[in-house]
Structure 1
Amino acid sequence: MIFNLKPVSIFILLFMSCQSGKLTTVGSIDSDLDEASAAQICGNPNIVWTIEDAGNKNNVYGMDFKGNIVRDIDIKNIKNVDWEDLTSDKEGNLYIGDFGNNSRKRKNFFIYKIENINNVEDETIAKTIQFTLPDNVKSEDFESFFLLNNQFYIFTKETKNFKVLKVPNTIGTHVATLVTEYNLKGKNNKITSAAISEDNATVVLLNHDKLWKLTNFKDDHFFEGDIEKIEFDHNSQKEGICFKDNNNVVITDEDSGKEDNNIYTLKL
């Protein structure tokens, strides 16, 4: 179902606010990681999982909060076409979003499930969820997703209007469903990562210099609740976000070649 947001746009603006968010730098990401493209805590609160971007190894890395690599797992049966984001479920399974599409020519997209990630030694295999786009959606670039009520919500990366798709968390091949389209107010609003709190009450959408905090929504009507823009105190190539707990997030830099790549925390 596509939700027509135009009639309520004025109403929503009344609940949109802005504040500044001071990031706390807690670590510097290991230089062996060329591109830390995601962040996810899955079961073990002391490990932040990450992946590298297109063309890099088909490995998942666990970092401590100082940015040191403490886990390195080879996913033997899949290829890193363009891995972009991570999410997880409450059973300790980690999911890789292989849906990057800079050329906007891809027709098939993948989500890889790694079962019981904290019990894996050095290598494992992944189960595959494949999806294609509905007829009314052209090939887009995706860089962010999260899992809610056993559905993956996947966001296109756009400057203005972006789309939200959903795909069931079921092994096999699916046609994605278009949930809605939306336009966050402001400039440079390309979403690089997304996450939802464990209590399912808060969604965060990451950008290089800010995040958008969504609350008081019902079901998957994410943009019909309160929308708050939190501007950071600096700009860097931030590509990963996850919740540490219901009120605090972890944010990671991807290598920009210009500065140190850090791990940050932020109290919402």
Structure 2
Amino acid sequence: MIKKPVVLISLLLACMAMLFTVGAAYSLYSKKQHDIDPKVREISGIEFDKKLRLWAINDSGDGPKLYMLNDDGSVAREVTVTNAKNIDWEDMTQNEFGHFFLGDFGNNENNRRWLTIYKIENPIDIKTDTTEAEIIKFTYPEMDGTPVEPHQKNFDLEAFIEFDHNLYLFTKNRTAPFDGITNVYKVGDHAANFNAEKIDAFKTCTTLEKLCWITSAAISPDRKRLVLLDSTSIWLFENFPSDRFFSGDIYRIDLGLITQKEAVTFYDNNTLVFTDEEFKGLIGGNAYKIELDKVAKQPIRTSSPSNPAE
């Protein structure tokens, strides 16, 4: 016979778990703006054009297409990049002139040696439903053609930004054992073949790889704030010197319920929009918004007087 204290403790734990889940769901869905059109159910990158209209891309399985979204999340327009392939499109960013960059660099098996970034004009300037891209190719010097060992599998990629005429790539770590580190590589922002230069690294967490994977990145229009996205959090970096993004102030923003969050971008210097992929019609498939001056931020490292640098 089960003792009464054991039953009570079990009920208490179940109630606490339910309250935690409800709280996490509220934390996420209170930020929801709208559903995303099923045409972009596997949304992997977003960016605003010069008129602040939102554009999105899908990852592998779709054609080389960009989708302009209405304010309600429906698709308003499609543009096809005629000289591109969507092997595994994983993120989108833009430079200060408004050129869009589309990252075809998903590398789940860590076996793609040459990866591609497509550079196109700002979609507002594309007058038809097709365009051509400037093609940027890069490889990791550490990949020498031999099979990548499990502890070296940090060549998958789902996040990048443009900064000071270069592209910065943040890896999606698949090492075994998992060490939670995203490496930062640098390549040029123009058509050429590049050897990606490793310049920095940052550890998110090691609790569970799917909670710690970096799946998108964005930089503010004034180039003073960087964010990285994972399934539970936004990592905010401020006051960084030059392109040493992890050397300034660092904060973590809890996003509540765990969903497959795959894309983030800045609407303005203070406002972020992020999206998640739809999962079996049950959760996800939404766009969310947060304002950085109104959201709770957990200091990880800050140089402010009340929180001296570590």
Separation (CA, whole Å) in 2 of partners of 1:114 and 1:262: 26
Supply the AA of the counterpart residue of 2:187: V
Residue of 281, 286, 291 corresponding to 1:267: 291
Taking structure 2 as the reference length, the TM-score comes to: 0.76
Cα pair distance change 1:21/1:227, threshold 3 Å: farther
- Is 1:119 equivalent to 2:125 in the alignment? yes
Q: Which runs of 5+ in 2 are unaligned?
A: 1-25, 293-310
Q: Provide the C-alpha distance between the structure 2 equivalents of 1:136 and 1:97, rounded to a whole number of angstroms.
A: 19
Residue in structure 2 matched with residue 128 of structure 1 by the alignment: 135
Deviations 1:147-195 (A, max 9, x none): 0001101011125012100111121111110011221246322111000
Q: Show the 5 A alignment for 1:239-258.
A: 239-257=262-280, 258=282
The amino acid across from 2:136 in the alignment is I
Instruction: Name the structure 2 match of 1:32.
Output: 39
Deviation sequence 1:110-154 (CA, Å, 0-9, x none)? 110111321212111111011111237967100000000011010
Report the structure, 1 or 2, having the larger strand content. Answer: 1
- For the pair 1:167 / 2:197, whether they are aligned, the reply is no
> Could you give the per-residue CA deviations for residues 3-25 of structure 1, whole angstroms, max 9, x where no partner exists?
xxxxxxxxxxxxxxxxx976521
Map of 1:192 onto structure 2: 215
Q: CA deviation at 1:43?
A: 1.1
Distance 2:187 2:168 in 1: 7
Q: What amino acid is aligned across from residue 34 of structure 1 in structure 2? A: R
Identity over aligned residues, as a percent?
35
1:43-102 deviations in Å (ceiling 9; x for gaps): 121x21111111311111111232111120011111101100000122221110010001
Q: Is the 8 A contact 1:193 1:205 kept in 2?
A: yes
Distance in 2, matches of 1:65 and 1:236, equals 22
Residue of structure 2 equivalent to 1:225: 248
Alignment correspondent of 1:215: 238
**For the structure 1 residues 36 and 136, does the alpha-carbon distance in structure 2 shift closer, same or farther, using more than 3 Å as the test?**
closer
| Number of matched pairs | 248
Partners in 1 of 2:125 and 2:56 — Cα distance? 17
Q: Normalising by the residue count of structure 1, what TM-score does the alignment of the two structures yield? A: 0.87
- 1:32 alignment partner, SS class: helix
Out of 76, 81, 91, the position equivalent to 1:75 is: 81
Matched, 1:155 2:170: yes
- Secondary structure of 1:91's counterpart equals coil
Contact 2:239 2:249 in 1 (8 A): yes
Deviating more after overlay: 130-139 vs 186-195: 130-139
Whole-Å separation in 2 of the counterparts to 1:32 and 1:55:
12
| Higher RCO (Cα < 8 Å, 6 or more apart) | 1
Q: 1:19-43: per-residue Cα shift (whole Å, max 9, x none)?
A: x976521110011223111111121
Q: How does 1:8-19 map to 2 (within 5 A)?
A: none
